[in-house]
Structure formats: structure tokens, C-alpha cells
Amino acid sequence: MPVLLTTHLIGDLNRSRVLQAFCDHGPLSRADLARLAGVPRATIGAIVQTLLDAGLVEEQAPDRDGRVGKPGRPLWFGPRAGLSVAVGFQADAVRASLVSARGERLAESRVGLTTPTASGRQLLGALTKAVRAVLPEGEEVLGVGVVVPGVCDTATGEVIGSGQIPGAVGTGLATGLATALGLPVLVDNDARAQALGEKWFGDGRGVPSFASVQTGDGLGVGLVLGGHVFRGEDGRVGELGHTAVVPDGDPCRCGLSGCWETVATLRWLRASAAALGLPDPDRTTTASLVALGAAGEPLLERYADHLALGLANLVNLLGTRRLVLHGDVVGGGEQMRARVETAVRARSLGHLQEDVVVTLSALDADAALLGAAGLVLSETFRLAV
């Protein structure tokens, strides 16, 4: 947490820095906040009181952890504080959730739509309907966060490219939705939102640098480096699934060849299962390979190593030694997690190997949606994410 400003400048910025500490560490007592900021507890008390008066945070039950003296009372967001609406796309629907600053989903809606073939107008209509269905009466909503499987210009809110929902490209979805709802609308790539969801609410909380990795039909990677979600200058970079790992490899759907996606997704896994004569290859997943036992183990090992090709590159290049996995591999449980961790360590530089930690996301499919809420919270409270 940065050192707070002098007393005469205390205001929105210092309140933002207190909220930043909650984002980075979770519930904290006044003593914890004062220690992180390097200021007297009385200074923190004045700032916290404004947050209590506004109903944004509340005191929790005393923290009785065995320490001598009066137990501290952790501060945390109120149960309906910092409300935002998070929106995501599925192949057959648009999904919206009313989310609190605690990361609790308070209301849900789902509007059926074949999103891969929907026009921009149809997408906007479904988005608007889904969001309106969860808006609460008589309560302030800070804004709407939309996560898109594609390339997004985060400054303008424009979708630049998306193979999964092409109707969103260049159609001004964020502007149209903001006009229809009268609320601020923020748009970002789903992999980056997933990383933000982990930072706010999951395994990435308090971890300065980590990678959040979506596995399955594609490979998406969101990076948090030095406490900040990496977006590049305009949000158009970060497609790590399309970095080359196989010289003279197979063509990729992106138009390149030998991409990480060509050897570490369900398409490769199912083709390999068919070549090996495994049962029901078109439905092969990590979970089904684990269930096959010895028959599925060789392919499981290859799959883990192929995933490690790109993951180890991240470790060696950026030092993202915490790797949070989502999607298909989560179904493989500890057997797959351990294999991936071993394979990444084997491909990482010696001085980095022991620090590599692979985890299976507890949030998993919900991480990107919670990250959409994190977009709104971060923008509203000017948090450094």
C-alpha cells in the first residue's frame, strides 16, 4: 500500500488507497491498515470513518486469533456495497450478474441468444435485457463491466476482433449499452478480466505477479505484473495462446502456424485420443483421461507437458511463478495439477524452479465474470489494477 498523503490532502485519493489495500489483502483492521500505510492509527481512523459513514465498509466480528490484548475488528465491504453488473457471453446466451464489492453474486439473469451468429444489434438488445433484469430498485449501481472473448481497445471500449462473437466487432457495444442504461460501461478481454477476478477475489489476492490461464477450446492468459493487470498500451496485446512453440507446426485458426493453441487445447487432445484409439475421443477431456487411469496416463502426461511449453516461457521471461489454471484442466484435479507443475518446473530455469506454484482456480468459470465487476470497482475507486 503506498504511503498516504499529508493531512490537508486527505480525500478521495487516500480513501482509494485504503480500498486498494482491501483489494490486495482482503479484510483488514485499522491496525493492519496503519501498518501497511506507515501512518498513525488515528490518521487511518479518520479515513475509515468516511467509508463507514458512506456505508461502503463495515466492521466485522473481532478477530480472535490468540494474540494478547483487545482483538482487532476487521473492516470489509458491506454486503450490498459497491454494486456493479457483470456481463459475459456464452455460446447460447448472454449472462449478467449483480455483484457486490465482496464478490458475492446477488442476482442473476440469462438471455438466450446464439452469440456466434448474432448481429451487433441483437447482441446489444440481449445485453440490455440481461442487465436490466438484475438492476436493483432504489440502490446505486456503479456501472457495468462486459468481458469479451476477443481483442478489445480498453480506452474506447471497442471490440477490435473476436472469432467467437464476430457481431460485437466494431459495433460500439459499450457506447450503445451505456446510452440504453444511463450507466458507465467498461469492456475488456475475458482473459484479462479473469486475472482481475483472481486478483480481487481469488488465488491472486496479495500475489504481486501471477498468470491466470484458461484452458479448453482455446488458451487465454491474463497477466498480473507488479500488482497491475497487463494490457499493453491499448489493450490489443497479450494473445499468448498464439505465440509459436512448435517450429513448422500445424496451422492455427489465427492464421499463424505452430501456435501454443495448436498443441495444448481440446482440439489437439481429442485428435490425439482418436489417433491412440481411446474410447469416445470426441468427448475427451482432462477429467475423462484421469478416469481412464493407466490407459489415459501417457496422453495426460503429453498434454501437461504441452501446456508447460507456454507456461514455462512465462516463468522464464516474466517471473510469473504463480500459475492459476481454469477450464478443462480443473476437471483433472490434483493429478493434473501436479503433472503440470512438475512439467513447468522441468522447463523453467534452475533458479526459478522451486518457486513455481500451480493452482487450480476455486473461482474457475466465475473468475472472468467477477473480473468484470472488478473493472467497475477499479475504475470507480481509481484503484491501481
Contact 141, 183 (CB under 8 A): yes
The pLDDT assigned to 211 comes to 95
Q: Is the pLDDT of residue 9 over 60?
A: no
Claim to verify: residue 297 and residue 332 sit in the same structural domain: yes
Whether 198 is in a domain gets the answer no
Claim to verify: residue 242 and residue 350 sit in the same structural domain: yes
The pLDDT assigned to 206 comes to 87
Chain segment 150-200, per-residue pLDDT in tens: 888 888 889 998 888 999 999 999 999 999 999 999 999 999 999 999 999
Write the CA distances from 186 to 43, 155, 299, integer angstroms.
34, 9, 41
Stretch among 19-33, 303-317, 342-356 having the lowest mean pLDDT:
19-33
Claim to verify: residue 95 and residue 164 sit in the same structural domain: yes
Claim to verify: residue 136 and residue 209 sit in the same structural domain: no
Claim to verify: residue 175 and residue 215 sit in the same structural domain: no
Stretch among 70-84, 85-99, 121-135, 321-335 having the lowest mean pLDDT:
70-84
Q: Is the pLDDT of residue 342 over 50?
A: yes
Whether 72 is in a domain gets the answer yes
Q: Which residue, of 31, 60, 77, is where some domain finishes?
A: 77
Whether 227 is in a domain gets the answer yes
Whether 385 is in a domain gets the answer no
Q: What is the DSSP letter of 9?
A: G
Q: Is the pLDDT of residue 109 over 80?
A: yes
Q: Which residue, of 51, 77, 103, is where some domain finishes?
A: 77
Query: Which residue intervals of the chain are DSSP H helices?
Result: 12-25, 30-37, 41-53, 120-134, 173-181, 190-201, 266-275, 286-292, 297-318, 333-347, 350-353, 367-380
- Residue 278: exposure state from Cβ atoms within 10 A (0-12, 13-18, ≥19): middle
Whether 103 is in a domain gets the answer yes
Q: Is the pLDDT of residue 3 over 50?
A: no
Claim to verify: residue 262 and residue 124 sit in the same structural domain: no
The pLDDT assigned to 11 comes to 55
Residues 6+ apart with CB under 8 A from 176: 124
Work out whether the CA dihedral 361, 366, 368, 374 comes out positive or negative.
negative
Chain segment 225-283, per-residue pLDDT in tens: 998 898 877 666 678 888 999 999 999 988 899 999 999 999 999 999 999 999 999 99
Q: Which residue, of 77, 98, 130, is where some domain finishes?
A: 77
Residues spanned by the domain of 264: 203-362
pTM of the model: 0.88
Whether 1 is in a domain gets the answer no
Q: Is the pLDDT of residue 8 over 60?
A: no
Chain segment 199-215, per-residue pLDDT in tens: 999 989 989 999 999 99
Claim to verify: residue 43 and residue 97 sit in the same structural domain: no
For residue 20, the domain's CATH number is 1.10.10.10
Claim to verify: residue 220 and residue 115 sit in the same structural domain: no
**In the chain, what percentage of residues exceed pLDDT 70?**
93
Claim to verify: residue 169 and residue 310 sit in the same structural domain: no
Claim to verify: residue 268 and residue 138 sit in the same structural domain: no
Claim to verify: residue 212 and residue 302 sit in the same structural domain: yes
For residue 320, the domain's CATH number is 3.30.420.40
Number of structural domains (the chain) is 3
Whether 131 is in a domain gets the answer yes
**Pairwise CA distance, residues 134 & 98, whole Å:** 6
Claim to verify: residue 172 and residue 305 sit in the same structural domain: no
Whether 195 is in a domain gets the answer no
